Amino acid sequence: MIVSDFQIYVRDCLQHVDIVRKTFPDLPMFICGHSMGGAISILMANERAAEFSGLILISPLVLPNPESATSFKVFAAKILNHVLPNFSLGCIDPNSVTRNKQEVESYARDPLVYHGSMKVCFGVQLLNATSRVEKALPHFKLPLLLFHGTADKLCDIRGSQLMMDTVPSEDKTLKIYDQGFHALHKELPEVTTSVFQEIERWILQRI
């Protein structure tokens, strides 16, 4: 997984928004982003806030994981990016994604999921993305619905708490799931059902 600039993801998603808007010009548009897609969604909303009626984020990437982004590791990654950009930083353990074993197996078999290792150059782009996200938060005024699990090992829950404390939006909600893992929309049935019911209720109240 390699990308020269994180903005490529934001650009491509906004191009998709333009296509959808042409097809459905009169409908309200909400963004829903999970994990790295959460960072993309925040940057999309920051770039073109007038396009959207609200933002839904599930375990978003707002802050670097404190275990994998210590000051030394960040410094080392930036140095390695110049000399060994394809150096492996390891793979995501499917068991850290959800407590639902059926979903773990599905994730591990899914050919559309990248199962290789994360490269140094991509890790640096993720760091750049979180830096941009933090700078965008004080300007964020859209309605916001956040979900995060307390046992998320992939995206730090403190990022969602920081977002709640920082964004000036007057319409913002954080739903925390005790012991929930990273993919709350693919978690234990009671968690997943709750997440989708909350999303449905929240959107219906705003259209």
The residues, ordered by sequence, that sit 6+ positions from 144 with a Cβ below 8 Å of its Cβ are: 54, 55, 57, 163, 167, 169, 171, 172, 173
**Backbone phi and psi for residue 58, each to the nearest 5 degrees, phi listed first:** -115, 115
Among this protein's residues, is 152 annotated catalytic? yes
Among this protein's residues, is 148 annotated catalytic? no
- From the candidates 35, 41, 59, 160, give the one annotated as an active-site residue: 35
As a whole number of Å, the CA-based R_g of the chain is 17
The residues, ordered by sequence, that sit 6+ positions from 200 with a Cβ below 8 Å of its Cβ are: none
Among this protein's residues, is 165 annotated catalytic? no
- From the candidates 34, 152, 156, 160, give the one annotated as an active-site residue: 152
Q: Catalytic amino acids?
A: 35, 152, 182
